[in-house]
């Protein structure tokens, strides 16, 4: 089953950062889609639904130098968990 997760990356500063993040996430076999929004510093990821997969994604981003915090995406909400 597929799940969509949302991550906030405060230290994403430029287009090179966005490309690095996208490559790091897309390299994981459990990820089917990754969209990076530079304006909001948010990443939308479709992946297998197991909780461990989101943790692996966060670790992959950390190894690339980015701190990723999951959040619930609701209309008019960017509450960070």
Specify the pLDDT at position 75.
57
Class of domain 2-70: alpha beta
In the chain, the largest separation of any two C-alpha atoms, in whole Å, equals 33
Q: Domain residue spans in the chain? A: 2-70
CA 33 to chain centre: 10
Specify the pLDDT at position 26.
95
Question: Following CA atoms 59, 31, 12, 17 in sequence, which dihedral angle do they give, to the nearest 10 degrees?
Answer: 100
Distance (Å, rounded) from C-alpha 41 to C-alpha 52? 23
Token representation of residue 57 = 């994604």
Tens of pLDDT along the chain (81 residues) come to 889 999 999 899 999 999 999 999 999 999 999 999 999 999 999 998 887 889 999 999 999 999 999 998 865 555 555
Distance (Å, rounded) from C-alpha 12 to C-alpha 23? 14
Specify the pLDDT at position 73.
81
Specify the pLDDT at position 80.
52
């Amino acid at each position: 089953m597929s799940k969509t997760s949302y991550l906030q990356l405060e230290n994403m500063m430029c287009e090179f950062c966005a490309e690095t993040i996208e490559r790091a996430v897309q390299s994981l076999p459990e990820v089917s889609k990754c969209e990076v929004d530079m304006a909001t510093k948010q990443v939308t990821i479709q992946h297998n639904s197991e909780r461990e997969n989101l943790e692996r994604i966060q670790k992959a981003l950390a190894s690339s130098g980015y701190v990723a915090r999951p959040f619930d995406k609701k209309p008019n909400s960017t509450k960070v968990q």
